[in-house]
Amino acid sequence: MTNAATPGGPTPSLVARTVALDLDVATSLVSLLPSEHPVAWLRRGEGLVGWGQATALRTSGPTRFADADKWWSETIARADVLDEVGEPGTGPVCFGTFAFSDHRGDSVLVVPSVVVGRRGGRAWLTTLSASGVVAPLPAIAVAEAPRAPTAVSFADGALNGEQWMSAVADAVARISVGELEKVVLARDLVARGSEPIDVRWPLHRLTESYPMCWTFHVDDMFGATPEMLVRRERGLVTSRVLAGTIRRTGDDSRDLALAATLARSSKDLEEHEYAVRSVADALEPHCSSMNVPEAPFVLHLPNVMHLATDVNGVVHDAATVSSLRLAEALHPSAAVGGTPSDVAIRLIAEIEGMDRGRYAGPVGWMDAHGDGEWGIALRSAAVEGDGIRLFAGCGIVADSDPEAELAEAQAKFVPVRDALGGL
C-alpha cells in the first residue's frame, strides 16, 4: 500500500491489468469485499467493488476537483495498461468522494489495488500497482461475513429537532422577503454501537433494500444515493435530478394517491424546477444537444417518493472535459444547495449549524478515458472515529412548513438508520 499523495507531488507509475472473470451470477459483488480499504459502487447487482490501495490523492479547497482531475490525467498518461475486456469500468479506475464546501473538508481520489466489476452478464478482475510492476492476479472468493452491529444508539448531531425547525423557519422568512428562492438545509444524527461498526454490514443491507439506488463506499463515506449527478459514457451524458419528496405509508393504494398529490404539488414542482434548471444550465456548455423533459416522473423508493427528471445530452468536449469536471460544473446543484446558488451556500454556512463534510458532494468513479459515474452523496453517512454520522437534507421554499420538513428529514435517515440495525 502506498501513502496518499498531495497535489503537486510525484505521479505514480501505475500498471493495470484487466482480465475476464468467471463469477457466478448468484454471487453478490459486495460479498467479495474484505475489510482492507473496501470501495463500492453498486446498483441492481452490477457495478464495481475494490479493496487495497495502490495509490491515492487527498486535496481540499476550491481547486479540489481540478487537482484530482490533473493528478488522474497525469497518472493515466504514465500508466501501462493491459485491458482484455474493454467494458466501461475496466482498465485503470479511481474512486472519489468530494467535500461539499469549497472551504471545509477534504476530498479523496483512491486507486484500489484490486477491482472486480460486473456489467450485463460479464465480470472482470483488474489489478493495479503503483510500483511499475504487474501485480499477480489474486484469488477471488466470498469474504468472511461482517459481524452485525450491536447495541446501536442514535443521538442528535449539531442541532436537535426544535433547533433545526427554527433554522427552517428562518430560511422561509428570508425566502419570503426575496433574499433567495430556495435553500437546502441538512441535519445529522450520530450512531454508536457497543463496538466499532464494520462498514460492510450496512453496505450489504443497503444493496438488498435499495437495489434501485447506487450503493457506495469510498474512504469512510457510504450510503445508497437515488441521485445520479452525472454519468458520462462514450459521448453520452445523463443526470438524474431529484427534488420534491413525500414519505411513503406502506399502504399501496394510499401511496398511489400520495404520488398523484406529489405530482400536482405546486411547492414540490417549484422546488423541482429550480433543480432541473440548474443542472440543464450547467451541462449546456458541454453538450451539442440536450433533452430536458417538460414534466417530472415520480420515483418510488421503499421509504419515500421523489419527483425525478432525467436530463440527457451528447457531449462535444469529451477529449478535454472528464466526467469529474462535469461533476464539478454541476456541483452544487439546486437540489443540494439552492437558488441562487451563491446566496444559498452562504445561508447554509450561516444557519445550518454543522460541517457537511462530504455529505451532498460528488461520489463515484472514473476510468482512464474520463468516463464514469458520479452520484450525490445523499442517504449517506460518514464513519468518524468510533461513531457514524448520518445526514439528511430538505429543500426549503416559500411554502415550506418546518414540522413537515423535519418529518421528511426523518424519512431520509431511514435507509442508513435501518442498515445499521441487526437482523
The residues near 193 (Cβ < 8 Å, ≥ 6 apart) are 149, 150, 151, 152, 153, 420
216: alpha, beta or left? (left if phi > 0; alpha if psi -120 to 50): beta
**Where does the pLDDT of residue 422 fall: very low under 50, low under 70, confident under 90, or very high at 90 and above?**
low
AA identity, residue 55:
T
- Is 162 one of the catalytic residues? no
Q: What does the block give as the cell for 5?
A: 499523495
CA distance 317 to 166: 45
Instruction: Point out which residues pair with 95 in neighbouring strands.
Output: 110, 365
Q: Which of 182, 273, 328, 408 is an active site residue?
A: 182
- Is 227 one of the catalytic residues? yes
pLDDT > 90 in the chain, percent = 89
AA identity, residue 96:
G
The maximal CA–CA distance of the chain, rounded, in angstroms, is 64
CA distance 31 to 42: 12
Distance of CA 121 to the CA centre of its chain: 25
* Backbone Cα Rg of the chain: 21
Residue 198: is its pLDDT beyond 90?
yes
**Where does the pLDDT of residue 3 fall: very low under 50, low under 70, confident under 90, or very high at 90 and above?**
low
Residue 8: is its pLDDT beyond 80?
no
Phi, psi of 65 (to 5 degrees): -70, -45
| CB-count exposure of residue 87 (10 Å: 0-12, 13-18, 19+) | middle
Number of alpha carbons in the 13 Å side-chain half-sphere of residue 182: 26
Report the chain's mean pLDDT, rounded to a whole number.
Answer: 94
**pLDDT tens column, 219-271:** 999 999 999 999 999 999 999 999 889 999 989 999 999 999 999 999 899 88
Q: Which of 36, 70, 162, 227 is an active site residue?
A: 227
Instruction: Point out which residues pair with 286 in neighbouring strands.
Output: none
CA distance 323 to 329: 10
**pLDDT tens column, 82-112:** 999 999 999 999 999 999 999 999 999 999 9
**Where does the pLDDT of residue 74 fall: very low under 50, low under 70, confident under 90, or very high at 90 and above?**
very high
Q: What is the mean pLDDT of residues 112-136?
A: 94
More confident residue, 6 or 287: 287
Q: What is the mean pLDDT of residues 42-60?
A: 97
The residues near 256 (Cβ < 8 Å, ≥ 6 apart) are none
Total structural domains in the chain?
Answer: 1
Q: What does the block give as the cell for 290?
A: 440536450
CATH number at residue 51: 3.60.120.10
Quick check: pTM over 0.85?
yes
Q: Which domain holds residue 48?
A: 4-419
Residue 176: is its pLDDT beyond 60?
yes
Q: What is the mean pLDDT of residues 350-362?
A: 97
